[in-house]
Amino acid sequence: MRNLLSVEQLNANDILTLFNIASDIKASPQQYCDSLTGYHFALLFEKPSLRTRASFVTGIEQLGGKAHFYDLQNNKLGVRESLQDFSANLSHWYQGVVARVDQHQTLQTLAASNEYSVINALCDLYHPCQALADFFTLYEINPVMSEWSVAYFGDANNVSQSLMEVAKKLNAKFSLVSPECSAESFWVKHQSNNSLNKDSTLVNDEYSFRYFNQPDDLQFADVVYTDVWISMGQQNAANEQVYKPYQVTPALMQRLNANYFMHCQPVHRDKEVVSEVCDGHWSIMQQQAANRMPVQQAILHSIFNEVL
């Protein structure tokens, strides 16, 4: 593996290998302190970040590498010079590029140079590092992944897509509970094979994926997950009122008999979730945030030491 652009390029064994390395890094970080020695990383961020930026910078440095952060919010890629020229220059100094970009295509162009490794730190279509850290958080609680059932409420977006992909690989159950306008437009963007069929259920041999237009149609979930209703860069995309029925409340958690609440953060209190849930006994969102670092370290360790 040279790049990590989406979860689709990993199989179940790859993901479980990453989880085992992440566990090992958490248990014995000193064993990995030279894992990235001699490697330099450019962090190219066209959008804001706390968790992704902090966990990559500290995680790279803990493994002996060097990280240089480029804030590109006001200096988007491809404006001052072509992306191809920018990329050719990067290759003189960096062995790795961690990029948060507006368009997935930008990551593909960077990766096409084949001069350095490219890690997707969020784009319009995917957030693979987030979803891997999230399922690692569940794996730490119960490693039998087929026993998990995760229900995602709200906007169908980059996070829900990567979660669905990891769930599929690990044979966990995944339900998307989202307004039809959101789910449809996201799947169109993906040119995905998923489609909303009449009974709102899509099942294949490998996994069970279900789509629900109405929250009341879902009866049970171990885990309720939500994310911001309007993602970065999508400010004009939807009317928040459409999402109001998908808000995560104590009543929803109780009705579904859910044990855990997850959120990638940042949280928008009293929008997608109320404080009683995200600060309550259900919430494992800080464990998710803390697990970003060891999972990303496992990814980088695997790439630069040819484990995967």
- Judged by the rule CB under 6 A, the positions of this chain that interact with ligand NVA are 122, 157-159, 227-228, 231-232, 264
Nearest approach in angstroms of CB 100 to ligand NVA is 9
Where on the chain is the footprint of ligand CP (CB under 6 A)?
A: 49-52, 122, 130, 264-266
Q: With respect to ligand NVA, which residue has the nearer C-beta, 47 or 301?
A: 47
Between 90 and 131, CB nearer to ligand NVA: 131
- Virtual torsion, Cα 172, 177, 178, 179, nearest 10 deg: 140
Half-sphere exposure in the Cβ direction for 102 (13 Å, CA): 10
Instruction: Encode burial over 116-125: b for 16+ CB neighbours within 10 A, e otherwise.
Output: bbbbbbbbbb
- Report which residue's Cβ sits closest to ligand CP: 52
Taking the complex as a whole, the smallest distance from the CB of residue 227 to ligand NVA amounts, in Å, to 5
Report in angstroms how near the CB of residue 274 gets to ligand CP at its nearest.
19
Tell me the residue type at 178.
S
* Rounded Cα–Cα distance for residues 51 and 278 (Å): 17
Which of ligand CP, ligand NVA, none is residue 50 near (CB under 5 to 8 Å by kind)? ligand CP
Q: Which is nearer to ligand NVA, 32 or 229 (CB)?
A: 229
Indicate the helix (H) or strand (E) that contains 14: helix 12-27
The answer for residues whose C-beta is within 8 angstroms of residue 41's C-beta and 6 or more apart is 56, 60, 65, 66, 67, 68, 94, 95, 96, 97, 98
**Residue 265 Cβ vs ligand NVA, minimum distance, rounded to whole Å:** 7
CB distance 138 to 114 below 8 Å: no
What is the smallest separation between the CB atom of 159 and ligand NVA, expressed in angstroms?
5
Rounded-to-integer distance, Cα 14 and Cα 186, Å: 27
Nearer to ligand NVA, 55 or 157 (CB): 157
Chosen from ligand CP, ligand NVA, none, partner binding at 109 (C-beta under 5 to 8 Å by type)? none
